[in-house]
Amino acid sequence: EMGRISGSVIAAVLLNRDDFKAEYEVARAELRSDLGM
């Protein structure tokens, strides 16, 4: 249970960081392209 909560907290913190969001969007677009989506 604590692992799930910790993961949620870490994800929330990272998604509020502008530098992480920029890298995340690039990686997401690349993955979707590779998967043909």
Task: Evaluate whether 20 touches 14 at the Cβ level (below 8 Å).
Answer: yes
Give pLDDT, residue 27.
96
- 3-36 per-position pLDDT tens digit: 999 999 999 999 899 999 999 999 999 999 999 9
Structural contact between residues 9 and 1, judged by C-beta atoms closer than 8 angstroms: no
Q: What is the pTM of this model?
A: 0.57
Q: Would you kindly state where each structural domain of the chain is located, as residue ranges?
A: 2-34
Report helix, strand and coil shares of the chain as percent, to nearest 5.
85, 0, 15
